[in-house]
């Protein structure tokens, strides 16, 4: 399914286009497209070493872009109210990010740090990592992905605040174009109480702390 952001009541929601879903290419068509790219690159897709490459590439794409099949609302649906009075921030640091740049379709790799301030209910911590994966496993820009993760947590958990930081390298910079290695891109979204200096500072202190 192809997904797009549509504006609904001054908010953005992920919608699946029914027309695009109906016209999604078949696996055979996708494999044929890979063979076309191999020929365009100057090689022969019929030679032994490349004979099964189209199948492998399509299978890999299913894994790379499985986020299109993920439902953020379903991931964050189950929450827990019995938290023994816990009312401070919940922080997950160093969540692995593996995405693909939507401009060149090459890897984006790094880490995400996610926090929220519960408003009476909490969600299983693995669900926060799954939300990051749901948006990372799509064709993305880092800026959009960062905002989408914050939007989902804010919308479905309705916490007092959300903080998301993504720190990543982009192969569209390291392997082509300017070819600058060791350049990290940092994007951030602070919502609610995390816009207050004391909570922002506490969040930074926690994600920088050494185990």
**What are 93-133's pLDDT values in tens digits?**
999 999 999 999 999 999 999 999 999 889 999 999 999 99
Nearest to 34 by CA among 140, 181, 207, 25: 25
104 is in an annotated binding site: yes
pLDDT score of 184: 87
Specify the pLDDT at position 19. 40
Q: What is the pLDDT of residue 4?
A: 47
Instruction: Tell me which residue of 136, 130, 141 sits closest to 170, measured CA to CA.
Output: 141
The rounded percent of the chain whose pLDDT value lies above 70 is 87
- Residues annotated as catalytic are 101-104, 142, 170, 172
Smallest Cα–Cα separation from 129: which of 97, 167, 157, 163?
A: 97
Render pLDDT for 20-53 as a digit per residue (tens, 0 to 9): 656 889 999 999 999 999 999 999 999 999 999 9
Does 175 carry a binding-site annotation? no
Domains for the chain: give ranges and CATH numbers: 3-64 (1.10.286), 83-208 (3.30.1130.10)
């Amino acid at each position: 399914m192809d997904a797009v952001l549509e504006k609904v009541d001054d908010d953005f929601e992920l919608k699946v286009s029914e027309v695009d879903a109906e016209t999604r290419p078949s696996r055979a068509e996708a494999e044929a497209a890979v063979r076309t790219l191999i020929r365009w690159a100057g090689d022969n897709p019929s030679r032994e070493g490349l004979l099964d490459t189209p199948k492998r590439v399509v299978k890999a794409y299913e894994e790379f872009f499985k986020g299109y099949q993920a439902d953020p609302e379903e991931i964050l649906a189950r929450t827990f109210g019995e938290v023994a009075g816990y009312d401070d921030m919940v922080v997950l640091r160093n969540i692995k990010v593996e995405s693909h740049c939507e401009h060149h379709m090459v890897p984006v790799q790094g880490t995400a740090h996610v926090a929220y301030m519960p408003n009476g209910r909490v969600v299983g911590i693995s669900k926060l990592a799954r939300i990051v994966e749901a948006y990372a496993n799509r064709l993305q820009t880092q800026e959009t992905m960062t905002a989408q993760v914050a939007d989902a947590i804010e919308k479905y958990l309705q916490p007092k605040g959300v903080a998301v930081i993504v720190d990543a390298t982009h192969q569209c910079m390291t392997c082509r174009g300017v070819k600058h290695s060791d350049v990290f891109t940092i994007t951030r979204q602070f919502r609610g109480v995390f816009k207050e200096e004391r909570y922002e500072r506490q969040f930074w202190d926690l994600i920088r702390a050494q185990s």
